[in-house]
Amino acid sequence: MEQQAKIYVAGHRGMVGSAIVRRLQAGGFTNIITRSSPELDLRNQEATAAFFAQERPDYVFLAAAKVGGIIANNTYRADFIYENMMIQSNVIHHAYLNNVKKLMFLGSSCIYPKLAPQPLKEDYLLTGLLEPTNEPYAIAKIAGIKMCDAYRAQYGCNFVSVMPTNLYGPNDNYDLKNSHVLPALLRKFHEAKQSNTDEVVVWGTGTPLREFLHADDMADACFYLMQHYNEEGLVNIGVGEDISIKDLALLVKKITGYKGNLVFDTTKPDGTPRKLMDVSKLHSFGWKAKISLEEGITSVYNSIKDNAFL
Ligand code: GFB
């Protein structure tokens, strides 16, 4: 990417998009184009077409998506498939029509089969049934990967797909029903400590294993791969280590300084038993995660604990 290049970050108000903007700015890139959702509804084909024709960006980071945790995915099944299919179809197609030099599509580790061997290699895509709680979201993301490959094959577009593991960081969503596990636990333990509550409720059995990557590491990987990765298919972005939800809860308990107990609400779904990324392809391109889980959670906690999780 040339320093003067015009770069559109779709989803710049979200956790990942905002981290990508920070990373680009830190790298000296100043020609960054953004639009908030009220300014540009990417689900709307005409609005997206007009935006691309007017701005004609050179590079696109496609980080705009409808996202959420396990209950949000399972509850708003129609919204997750419809909104994501519309956003990515509009952006990918109009990037092609307007000769974008390179587009990076951001997917998710939930594209892999629920019971795939671990760690998850890129070629396990479409080898088995998906986890039911997030199947609509996963199908949309799989369609995004296949669109990038199809536009590469038919039109020669340099459109690439990257699959992040579970992410956390600044600008996360702390809504207790719709968020992912890490922001939910930070909020629950912090508020329990403030109010001297005896116990914190953790969803599910505590046995599922998850891998967590800080959004700043994710943005750094996207920035790096935008410059070094030009292949069809996909590349995983993760740390290559996982932790049980119970141990994650104990870590958040330690970081927040909460002294009470954990209880597990087994009426809530566990989701996929394990989602550990194989990161050998990522490492072979020369990028590795730098922020440890404890360091990352501590920095997020310190930055939000006085803001009442707004
Ligand atoms: O983060 P999470 O919602 O997403 O849940 P997934 C991870 C695990 O943490 C599940 C448990 O086993 C949850 O039951 N958990 C425990 C909690 N306490 C809580 C809590 O208070 N809130 C939440 N949210 N979970 C999502 C997918 O799956 O991961 C998306 O639905 C996407 O499509 C995203 O792929 C990265 O890892 O289960």
pLDDT in tens, 168-204: 999 999 999 999 999 999 999 999 999 999 999 999 9
Residue partners of 225: CB distance under 8 A and separation at least 6: 104, 160, 162, 235, 237, 285, 287
Q: Is 270 in the pocket of ligand 1 (CB under 6 A)?
A: yes
Using the predicted structure, report yes or no on whether residue 300 has a pLDDT greater than 70: yes
Phi-psi region at 157: left, alpha or beta (left = phi > 0; alpha = psi -120 to 50) = beta
Answer yes or no: is pLDDT of 306 > 90.
no
Question: Quick one: pLDDT at residue 255?
Answer: 97
pLDDT at position 65, please?
98
Across the strands, what pairs with 304? Answer: none
Instruction: Please work out whether the CB of residue 110 comes within 6 Å of at least one atom of ligand 1.
Output: yes
Residue 139 to residues 73, 121, 128, 133, 215, Cα–Cα distance (Å): 12, 18, 13, 12, 23
**Which residue owns the Cα nearest ligand 1 atom 15?**
203
Strand partners, 262: 200
pLDDT of residue 208 exceeding 80: yes
Give the pLDDT confidence score for residue 307 in this predicted structure: 80
210-256 tens-digit pLDDT = 999 999 999 999 999 999 999 999 999 999 999 999 999 999 999 99
Report the alpha-carbon distance of residue 173 to residue 310 in Å, rounded.
9
Express as a percent the part of the chain with pLDDT over 90. Answer: 98
- Asked if residue 310 has pLDDT above 90, the reply is no
pLDDT reported for residue 305: 86
For residue 269, give the ligand 1 atom closest to its CA: 14
Given CA atoms 163, 169, 170, 171 in this order, what sign does their dihedral have?
A: positive
pLDDT in tens, 115-140: 999 999 999 999 999 999 999 999 99
Query: What mean pLDDT is reported for the chain?
Result: 97
Of the listed 8, 59, 137, 151, which one is catalytic? 137
Give the span between the Cα atoms of 109 and 282, in whole angstroms.
14
Cβ 252 under 6 angstroms from ligand 1: no
pTM score over 0.90: yes
Work out the percent of the chain whose per-residue pLDDT is above 70.
Answer: 99
Above 80 in pLDDT, residue 308?
A: no
Mean pLDDT of 139-144: 98
| Residues near 150 by beta carbon (within 8 Å), at least 6 away in sequence | none
Interface ipTM above 0.90: yes
Q: Is 208 in the pocket of ligand 1 (CB under 6 A)?
A: yes
Q: pLDDT digit string (tens) for 264-276?
A: 999 999 999 999 9
Tokens coding 7: 């770069």
CATH homologous superfamily for the domain 7-170+211-239+275-291:
NAD(P)-binding Rossmann-like Domain (3.40.50.720)
Pocket test for ligand 1, best of 79, 142, 181 (most atoms within 8 A of CB): 181
